Structure 1
Amino acid sequence: MRKIISGTALVLAATVLTGCGGDNAPATADKSANTSVKPKSENGTGPVKHEVTLEVLGKGTSTIYYNLNTNKGEQVKLPWKKTSTITLTTDAEKRIGTTVSVVPGSVYGSDGTLHAVACTITVDGKKVADNQGGKSDKMCRYDLK
């Protein structure tokens, strides 16, 4: 009886291991990233370059935080704009991406209360994120692939 149970356990373990192996994943699995911006690459296999523009609208001064090649916070005069070319070189960067973001600060309105200001992110000339003109309390964020 013990031999039957041991043999059954061995067969079951072998079945589970061969069915769950990483190399036996279905060939139909789509591993490509779904991006709304087409990458700029010379031959499709080299580095991918994107021109990214962060923008914060409004009047007055505000503290903003942004991630564009590096994380940084600044006290700025509005409207504010920063453009940079980001190059994705590794397969992981191209597949998973890198996050670009801007957290707009608030400015005092004519009624003396703080109001959110508008932010946008543009990649290769196409607007990919905004906070609905400051109506949303969310930051502007985009996963660049």
Structure 2
Amino acid sequence: MRKTAMLALGLLAAAALLTGCGSDTKDAAPARGANGSPGAFASAPGKDSDAVVKGIAHRVVFEVGGTGPSRVMWVGNTNHFEQVTLPWTKTETVQLEDAQLKVGVPVSVVPGSVEAGDGKLKAAPCTITVDGKKVADNNDGASPKPCSYTLKD
């Protein structure tokens, strides 16, 4: 009986926390910068609009080699996971702003498996290129690690 009461109390507490922690944002407008575009950061209240740090855009190219169908996960502006046909390439523009300029933003690609020459499965070859410079690869699939890089300025 005591276990049941404690479980019920825990569930009620969790429900209260979940319902009380949200915010009512249905009427709130997204933050907009001086140019009015979503995602642009406005300066903090009481500060000059000149205090906004301008962002720096980078062209990031994710590539996975091999042939045939495979699953690929990549992280650029957002996380993606999908079924693709190899070879596969995806290009995104990643915008660094404010603190991201110093601490960076991780980008990565996790290739699926492909059949090696001996019939066994191995990681598909992957690369990441930033602004025309190769910054990560998995040595033609020899490394089981994904391709990853931290974009900074």
Q: With structure 1 as the length reference, what TM-score do the two structures score?
A: 0.65
Partner of 2:108: 101
The separation in 2 between residues aligned to 1:135 and 1:82, in whole angstroms, is 22
2:61 matched to 1:53?
A: yes
2:87 matched to 1:83?
A: no
Q: Which amino acid aligns with 1:113?
A: K
1:44-64 CA-partner distances (Å, limit 9, x unpaired): x62111000000011111111
Percent identical: 54
List gaps (5 residues or longer) in structure 1: 1-44
List gaps (5 residues or longer) in structure 2: 1-52
Runs of 4+ in 1 over 3 A off after TM superposition: 109-112
Partner of 1:133: 140
Structure 2 SS opposite 1:79: strand
Partner of 1:62: 70
Partner of 1:72: 80
Shift of 1:110: 5.2
The separation in 2 between residues aligned to 1:118 and 1:110, in whole angstroms, is 14
Q: When the two structures are aligned, how many residues end up with a matched partner?
A: 100
Structure 2 SS opposite 1:95: helix
Matches within 5 A, 1:115-130: 115-130=122-137
- Which of 96-105 and 112-121 deviates more? 112-121
Higher relative contact order (CA 8 A, sep 6+): 1
